[in-house]
Amino acid sequence: MPSKHITVNYTVWFPNADNVTISGINTLVTLQENSSFYEVVIKAAKQNDNFTFHATESVPNRHSVTSINGIESVIGPDRVYWFLYKLDTYPDLNNTPAVSYLLETGVDDTIVSDGDNYLFWLTHH
Task: Report the half-sphere exposure of 78 (CA within 13 A, side-chain side).
Answer: 7
Provide φ and ψ at 50, rounded to 5°: -65, -15
Per-residue model confidence as pLDDT tens digits over 12-22: 999 887 777 88
Most confident of 41-45, 54-58, 61-65: 41-45
Q: In this structure, are residues 40 and 112 in contact, taking their beta carbons and an 8 Å threshold?
A: yes
**CA atoms of 91 and 96, how far apart (whole Å):** 8
Cα distance between residue 25 and residue 93, in whole Å: 11
* pTM of the predicted structure, to 2 decimals: 0.91
**Using alpha carbons only, what angle is made at residue 33 by residues 32 and 34, rounded to the nearest 5 degrees?**
115
What are the residue ranges spanned by the domains of the chain?
5-123
Give the integer Cα–Cα distance in Å for 32 and 24: 26
Length of the chain: 125
Tell which CATH architecture fits domain 5-123: Beta Complex (2.170)
CB 50 within 8 A of CB 120: no
User: Mean pLDDT lowest for which of 22-26, 58-62, 117-121?
Assistant: 58-62
